[in-house]
Amino acid sequence: MNIKTISAFVITLLITQLSFSQWTKGKGKGYYKLSAWSLEADQHYTSSGAVDPNATRGNFTMSLYGEYGVTDKIDVVAYIPFLTRIYQNTQVSGTTGNTLQEGESINAFGDVDFGVRYGLIKNSFLALSTTLKLGLPTGKNKGGSDGSFQTGDGEFNQLLQLDAGLPYHLFTKTAYAKTYIGFNNRTEGFSDEFHYGVETGVKFWDKFWMVGRLNAVKSFRNGSLSAQNAQGSIFANNIEYVSVGGDLAYYITKKLGISFTYASAISGRIIYAKPSYSGGVFLEL
């Protein structure tokens, strides 16, 4: 696989939030988060699932995420990556010390996600909701000297997702579990995708959440683009992965908190084979 193909796995990780998306917020209530996210990798999963080295590349993104309850059953959801830095480190020969390739970077706006969630069931035993997320091509889909430094894929996609969650108690601790499935329709020759995942979280001392999750994407391989698209986009076609990770979230007050997120693909195709890290500040109103 050419090192130009950094996968849409980047975006999937970026929009992962501790937001209990199976439960609608309720009219007039909201959840808002300012995050910094980073991924740097010198190896990737190939189209066959093997791990190969590549020039060290990275992605650093600052973003805003929000959920707001329009009614008791309808939420609006938005993810706005207002600053994305894509970079590649200078390549230096290990034997001669000579520069093989100069480093390069771009800074630009990323692809925005906007969605609407509708609560189907919400009681003390079960929460069931459906969400339609629209991926808007607001990022830069061609940049750098070779066109491979992008902050967006240049296509308009629609993800329809069904979430189910239930609260429970782990001994005396408040906890929840959720699962989801989704279908992502991608345009401009990209293959459609099947999304699924599971998640569980436990609350300690009424201030601290520990969350573990597994997310996965499976390509339908029905697009017309090759794994690397015609523009050398960093958002590849036919990506697949299984990712594991988790969150630590601490409430400084009843409404304000901080969080840390870790995620990494344990298997995949055409994606980076290194973990990502994120830290943020969130507010619940």
Q: Structurally, what CATH architecture does the domain formed by 9-284 represent?
A: Beta Barrel (2.40)
Query: How far, CA to CA in Å, does 11 sit from each of 113, 124, 151, 234, 235?
Result: 10, 33, 10, 11, 9
Residues 4, 154: Cα–Cα separation, whole Å = 15
Tokens 């937001």 identify what position?
A: 19
* Predicted pLDDT at 10: 52
- Which tens digit of pLDDT belongs to each residue from 218-274? 999 999 886 554 333 446 788 999 999 999 999 999 999 999 999 999 999 988 899
Residues 147, 145: Cα–Cα separation, whole Å = 6
Q: How far is CA 104 from the centre of its chain?
A: 24
The residues with which 264 forms a beta bridge, in sequence order, are 244
Tell me: pLDDT of 14 over 80.
Answer: no
Instruction: Give me 153's structure tokens.
Output: 């894929």
* Predicted pLDDT at 1: 40
Confidence of residue 54 (pLDDT cuts 50, 70, 90): confident
Question: What is the average pLDDT across 47-57?
Answer: 89
Tell me: pLDDT of 6 over 90.
Answer: no
Q: Which residue has the higher pLDDT, 228 or 40?
A: 40
* Predicted pLDDT at 18: 47
240 and 227 Cβ atoms separated by less than 8 Å: no
Confidence of residue 146 (pLDDT cuts 50, 70, 90): confident
Tell me: pLDDT of 69 over 60.
Answer: yes
Return the domain boundaries, the chain.
9-284
- Which tens digit of pLDDT belongs to each residue from 153-188? 889 999 999 999 999 999 999 999 999 999 999 999
* Predicted pLDDT at 22: 61
* Predicted pLDDT at 228: 53
Tell me: pLDDT of 21 over 90.
Answer: no
Residues 40, 34: Cα–Cα separation, whole Å = 21
Dihedral pair phi/psi, residue 14, rounded to 5°: -60, -35
**In a 3-state reduction of DSSP, which class is residue 205?**
coil
